[in-house]
Structure 1
Amino acid sequence: MGYLRNFKKENYYQVKRITLDPEQMLSLQYHHHRSEYWLVIKGNALVQIGDKNYETGPGQYRHIPQGEKHRLTNIGSEELVLIEVQIGNYFGEDDIVRLEDIYGRK
């Protein structure tokens, strides 16, 4: 699966490190109160934003606008590591609206 680690949280931004095992994915989701930037550090990702998919490798980033559905998939054979910067006014877990989730979360 993978894990995340919180680095920093201030009033209007939060920074996390996300690690995702090969062939794993995050839920298809969106947020009401924040946008996100995903910067790939290691590995290869397929980033879905809206109805478009973008292959994204080390040193590349994607912007996910507030309210836009998105998903992260590790399409490589090694772990995927990225830095996520969230920008907004609320970062609670209840702001994650999951549309699809292979782990059964709501």
Structure 2
Amino acid sequence: MTDLKKIFCLHSLKRNKNYHMLEVGERPWGKYYVLEDEMHYKLKRIEVDPGHRLSYQFHHHRQEFWTVVQGAAVVVLNGIEHHVKYSESIHIPLGAKHRIENRSSELLVFIEVQTGTYFGEDDIVRLQDDYAR
């Protein structure tokens, strides 16, 4: 099974009421759900409200893989915009400056797979943030 198929299978499990969320968080831009948190990877479902975006940031200890499962995203990766639609993915390398934006009037949902050595919130280096965090 390819990695992308595994991600979609795990996303489907989320809809099963027996699948346990490890963590649910609310942010000014939307919500996130931690589906798995292991030693070398973390899996999240992230919902970005219409007209909102995450901070422009980078990480020292992890890379990320994003797959859009609902809506459409604008991803800024090292200053370059990429339009990512349903079922498309983008790789965020370790140390790359990045953000994701929902410029549409519909909810954006994407699956984030983090791989690396550390996944704590203090590994987020914010360069610009609409919410002054």
Q: Same fold (TM over 0.5)?
A: yes
Identical-residue share of aligned pairs (%): 49
* Corresponding position: 1:97 with 2:97: no
| Displacement over 4 Å in runs of 4+ | none
* Corresponding position: 1:48 with 2:110: no
Q: Which has the higher contact order (CA 8 A, sep 6+)?
A: 1
Q: How many residues align?
A: 105
Shift of 1:33: 0.1
- Alpha-carbon distance in 2 for matches of 1:93, 1:71: 15
Shift of 1:32: 0.0
**Which structure 2 residue ranges, 5 or more long, are not aligned?**
1-28
Per the normalisation by structure 1, the TM-score is 0.97
Shift of 1:76: 1.5
**RMSD between aligned alpha carbons?**
0.6
Shift of 1:62: 0.4
Larger radius of gyration: 2
Which secondary structure state, in structure 1, belongs to the residue aligned with residue 122 of structure 2?
A: helix
- Alpha-carbon distance in 2 for matches of 1:90, 1:79: 29
Higher normalized strand content (fraction of residues): 1
**Which structure 1 residue ranges, 5 or more long, are not aligned?**
none
* Corresponding position: 1:32 with 2:60: yes
